[in-house]
Amino acid sequence: METLTLRPGEDQAGRRADVWLSEAVEGLTRSAAARLLEEGRVTCGGRPLSKSSRLTGGETVDVALPEPELADLLPQDIPLDVVYEDGDVIVVNKPKGLVVHPAPGHPDGTLVNALLFHCGASLSGVGGALRPGIVHRIDRDTSGLIIAAKNDLAHQGLAAQLQDHTLARTYECVVTGNLRQDSGTVDAPIGRHPTDRKRMAVVAGGRPAVTHWRALERFPGFTHVRCDLETGRTHQIRVHMAHIGHPILGDTVYGAKKPVPGLQGQCLHAVGLRFLHPRTGEPVALSCPLPPEFQEQLRKLSARR
């Protein structure tokens, strides 16, 4: 068993322990955070915190991480495009259509099942029984780079980098419309949609979310854009681009309701990943090419000029 030591900032004073913990540890759901608290695994000054405990800000919180429970997850021989791998981390170029971890409606056939086959039991347990190794997520119909941790030390280090933005993620997408500027920043909080709980939205009181974007190429009615995430909220780029009036091509949740012929889901790809190796501290910079269907959309748009 390993212990994760966290120090909430002064700005976290007054927050519930379960809410804060689920946000402080990337990949940890609120229910999983509540479970750790209920089991007495989260302590401050040697005393267990309850779910409803309020933070004072600046204190030291220790989280005793349970061993991964992988009995209900089956390793599956699903092909993986491994971009980088060592004894601590693995980075995969995830194809569209592959769900990251088991969830209602997707009990298997996920990236986690593939990682279990590829890595064996050597995956971190911070994310809980259904998310071994998962440090961050990308949508089912978004392709590109995703990093997983092979042990809790690596997971702890990478989660800290997500918090302080040392772990940087770059995406490319095609959005509808012609962006007036060549670059910009969307700084707008994201939370659950007030009437549709399956969607996210820019809402007052949502979690802070910042996306930096830059136009790469312009086409009639569309723009090829690069986005750098400062935060990593659910559906962040999709929500932010729709919020400024330029939803992503093929996004039937936040944009046009009809799918684009020849395109599965949204035209969004995680093209770059930069982080400090959690064991050595050495910088690692990785990239992957745009998938064929993304390139085909660019060819079609270019032919319209």
Catalytic residues: 139
**What is the rounded (10 degree) CA torsion for 198, 159, 229, 299?**
-80
Beta bridge partners of 209: none
Which of 10, 7, 74 has the alpha carbon at shortest distance from 44?
A: 7
Contact partners, residue 279, CB within 8 Å, separation at least 6: 88, 153, 154, 157
Longest dimension (CA), the chain: 66
Residue 280 tokens, joined: 């050595």
Beta bridge partners of 285: 274
Residue 235 tokens, joined: 């559906």
Which of 278, 299, 297, 248 has the alpha carbon at shortest distance from 156?
A: 278
Residue 220 tokens, joined: 């009639």
C-beta separation of 265 from 194 below 8 A: no
Any idea what the Cα angle at residue 190 is, between residues 157 and 263, rounded to 5°? 90
For residue 15, the Cα-to-chain-centroid distance in whole angstroms is: 23
Any idea what the Cα angle at residue 245 is, between residues 305 and 255, rounded to 5°? 85
C-beta separation of 97 from 264 below 8 A: yes
Amino acid at 274: R
